[in-house]
Structure 1
Amino acid sequence: MRWDELDKQPCSLARTISVVGDRWTLVILRDCFLGIRRFDALEKSLGITRHVLADRLKKLVDSGVLYKTPYQQKPIREEYRLTEKGLELHPVILALVHWGDKHMVDERGAPIVHVHKKCGQVMQPVTVCSCCKEPVTAKDIRVEVGCGWQDLAKELLP
């Protein structure tokens, strides 16, 4: 499977990786969730070259994850905001941060914590079943062939 063909694969994960799977995109999205919206501020925060940042932002806009909106008229300057599609990546970012806080921190601990505004407590993301609301892990899930992958899945899944 070639990198530039991931978006054509009959796999939702491969298609998702085609949008957010390079080494800069997730940290760009992290900064967007932290409220950083302007090109210069993203460039400064990330220490990324203008060319790479412009390329990743264009891809996120073209994919419908971000949209540009003007914040200044003369000259026109735009900032990047999360779309609904982009906001739906928040649980993914939280899960990755939680994994990093558990497995990638040094002796100082987590660099930031997420506080639930409603109860004021530091929270950890939890995956629950959408039907019964019970927590689920990889061992609690069975994979079955979906409509979007009928023919190929029969060959690949047990």
Structure 2
Amino acid sequence: MRESTEAPEPGIEAVITRTGRFADRGAWSAEGWCHMEHALELVGTRSAMILMREIYYGGRRFDELARHTGLTEAVTSQRLKRLLDAGLLQRHPYREPGQRTRYEYVLTDLGRSLFPVFVALMDWGAQLGNESGVELVHAGCGSPVNAVVQCAKGHHVGLPDTVARIASDGKR
């Protein structure tokens, strides 16, 4: 097991280095406590992410969300409930003249914090060969928007530059 950030041997793929108690693969299982696993439980379905996409694009009302995603009303309802329960969205009442009160869906801070993941998926999806599609650009200068992995001090970090440790090691 490689325990440093040195370049891997030729032919060996660079991966995240595990340290501390996390270094012994046989001593732990990430099942049930992995942050990524928990996130995917909330937004790891195609329907959840395309609903979030439509909300990022300004969709707010149930009918337009179902129509623009192509999801059935049942799936739209189930996924919106899950996103509400998880705290990514809030419901705000509105009422058209002569109609009953209905609700529109708006982002919470937690929902806005998922935006870099959305950007990364859009960027990665663009690399899969489909030349057409939506491009995200900065409103201020028109340059493409992309997701960047960096540490809290602002350094760009690649896969082989990353070290994984168990947060309870007190080094978080």
Interval containing the TM-score (normalised by the shorter chain): 0.7 to 0.9
Q: Which has the higher contact order (CA 8 A, sep 6+)?
A: 2
Give 2:108's aligned residue. 83
**Preserved contact between residue 42 and residue 82 of structure 2 (Cα < 8 Å):** yes
**Preserved contact between residue 119 and residue 145 of structure 2 (Cα < 8 Å):** no
Give 2:38's aligned residue. 15
Per-residue CA distance 1:83-110 (angstroms, 9 max, x = gap): 000000000000011000012x33xx14
1:1-150 equivalence runs, <5 A: 9-72=32-95, 74-103=99-128, 105-106=129-130, 109-131=131-153, 133-147=154-168
SS in 2 for 1:81: strand
Query: How far off is 1:122 after superposition?
Result: 2.1
Query: How far off is 1:124 after superposition?
Result: 2.4
Number of residue pairs matched? Answer: 137
Per-residue CA distance 1:131-153 (angstroms, 9 max, x = gap): 1x221121110101112xx7xxx
**Preserved contact between residue 91 and residue 106 of structure 2 (Cα < 8 Å):** yes
- CA RMSD in angstroms comes to 1.6
Structure 1: which 4+ aligned runs deviate by more than 3 Å? Answer: none
Query: How far off is 1:38 after superposition?
Result: 0.6
**Identical counterparts, % of pairs:** 32
Pair member with larger Rg: 2
Q: Tell me the distance in 1 between the aligned counterparts of 2:152 and 2:35.
A: 19
**Preserved contact between residue 138 and residue 145 of structure 2 (Cα < 8 Å):** yes
Q: Tell me the distance in 1 between the aligned counterparts of 2:120 and 2:90.
A: 24
TM-score, normalised with respect to structure 2: 0.74
SS in 1 for 2:164: coil
Letter in 2 for 1:42: L
Letter in 2 for 1:25: A
Per-residue CA distance 1:17-70 (angstroms, 9 max, x = gap): 111112210111011100011100011111111111101000100110101001
Letter in 2 for 1:75: R
Letter in 2 for 1:124: N
Which is worse superposed, 117-126 or 33-42?
Answer: 117-126
